[in-house]
Chains A and B, each alone.
Chain A
Amino acid sequence: SQTIHQWPATLVQPVGSPLSLECTVEGTSNPNLYWYRQAAGRGLQLLFYSVGIGQISSEVPQNLSASRPQDRQFILSSKKLLLSDSGFYLCAWSAGGDTQYFGPGTRLTVL
């Protein structure tokens, strides 16, 4: 069966510091991968998605970036965090179909 992992589970970072969140999927090949942010009272916002290694599509312009160095690895990064980057970050995968499956999430607090 397929499993999706995210780490770290929680993170507290100062404003201006860099960020790296990692997502990995097991049990499937060539998944489509997604990064969402869930800010308080704002629902889920799609940030990036990837249909293959090195292929990244950005949905919302911001100071975040994403990379996919391996087939089942998706990384969310920032060079300098802002207060507004605080939130719950969710990674998801799909088998190229309509259904997405979500990871456990990373709670990011920027102080």
Chain B
Amino acid sequence: AQSVTQLGSHVSVSEGALVLLRCNYSSSVPPYLFWYVQYPNQGLQLLLKYTTGATLVKGINGFEAEFKKSETSFHLTKPSAHMSDAAEYFCAVSEYGSNDYKLSFGAGTTVTVRA
């Protein structure tokens, strides 16, 4: 069974500063990994995903994440934060079960951006 740990429930950054959100996972098989973003009172939007191939994955809104198997990590970064990046971010790992893929989510990290 897989699990996801997001380090830090709240992250505050200045506008223009680096955004770094940490995610570690445990999985018994090679994982599929995801980052989702949730704005207040909205659903989850897919930012990026890693399945196979290149370990550095680029997503929407200037975000990227790197899969590091040796560290079982999938940290999310953005070089320069924008006010519109204020949201909650969820890391998730997918594993195939009896008849479908199942997503396990981390607890989420809320990002605030200071002007």
Contact = CB atoms under 8 A, between A and B. Distances in A.
B43 A100 contact: no
A85 B29 CA distance: 34
Contact of B103 (A46, A57, A104): A46
Interface residues of A, number: 23
A95 to B, nearest CB: 11
A90 interface: yes
Contact of B100 (A43, A51, A99, A104): A51
Contacts of A57: 99
Interface of B is mostly: strand
B14 interface: no
A97 B101 contact: yes
B39 to A, nearest CB: 10
Interface of A: 6, 32, 43-44, 46, 49, 51, 57, 88, 90, 92, 94, 96-105, 107
